[in-house]
Amino acid sequence: MTTERLERQLEFIVEVDKLKSVYRRSRLINRSRYENDAEHTWHLIMMAMVLSEHSNRKDLDLFRVFRMLLVHDIVEIDAGDTFAYDDAGHLDKFEREDEAAKRIFGLLPEDQAKECYALWREFEDRTTDEAQFAAAVDRLQPMLHNYHTEGSSWKENGVTSDKVLSRNKHVAEGSTTLWDYAEKMIRRAVERGYLEK
């Protein structure tokens, strides 16, 4: 073990503190402020732990889901948060985020940089069972936050129920149980006036 290796690891750890200052469009459930990416990520890992039994895949590698979630938003330190309903922002999202991934994960020793980059790409590609389940909790969480704040972020951004359904329907790839729940929640949100039809 070289000291240089440890120094690089700690430089990365100090750098990613910036994720706590990347704000999202979702509010905390107590509505006091917008949520940041670091606390959002903690919440997703907690959700993955508690909800893993609802995955479509019965022998899910939950440890891999945790590691994917852990790193999945780090690129937003450079690339910023792209709001789920910002179609224009999604056009060049991959390029912006890929450059960010290379810079930030590149602070780590090479073997770890490769591991983190691969985890991030796996999450983005959404082809493995683990990535599909990770994506399912990543989409369910802001819907829960919206529902429990009477649609605060949906209303602020003029989002309608058909947009919510089409943007989030891939929750079902990871968990049909969670998507069934989400569809009911979206219907209730419309009935209660939290979300425009």
Q: Using CB under 8 A, list all residues that contact a copy of itself.
A: 1, 6, 9-10, 12-14, 16-21, 28-30, 32, 35-36, 38-39, 41-43, 45-47, 49-51, 53-54, 62-63, 66-67, 70-71, 108, 112, 144-145, 148, 177, 181
Nearer to a copy of itself, 19 or 79 (CB): 19
Nearer to a copy of itself, 35 or 97 (CB): 35
- Amino acid in the structure at residue 159: V
Work out how close the CB of 13 gets to a copy of itself at its nearest, in angstroms, rounded to a whole number.
6
Nearer to a copy of itself, 68 or 159 (CB): 68
Nearer to a copy of itself, 148 or 155 (CB): 148
Q: How far apart are CA 56 and CA 185, in angstroms?
A: 20
Work out how close the CB of 7 gets to a copy of itself at its nearest, in angstroms, rounded to a whole number.
9
Work out how close the CB of 84 gets to a copy of itself at its nearest, in angstroms, rounded to a whole number.
19
Q: How far apart are CA 145 and CA 105, in angstroms?
A: 30
CB distance 182 to 143 below 8 Å: yes
* Closest to 100 (Cα-Cα) out of 72, 125, 123, 126: 72
Work out how close the CB of 28 gets to a copy of itself at its nearest, in angstroms, rounded to a whole number.
6
- Amino acid in the structure at residue 34: Y
Work out how close the CB of 183 gets to a copy of itself at its nearest, in angstroms, rounded to a whole number.
14
| Residue keyed to tokens 């750098």 | 15
CB distance 34 to 25 below 8 Å: yes
Q: How far apart are CA 106 and CA 114, in angstroms?
A: 8
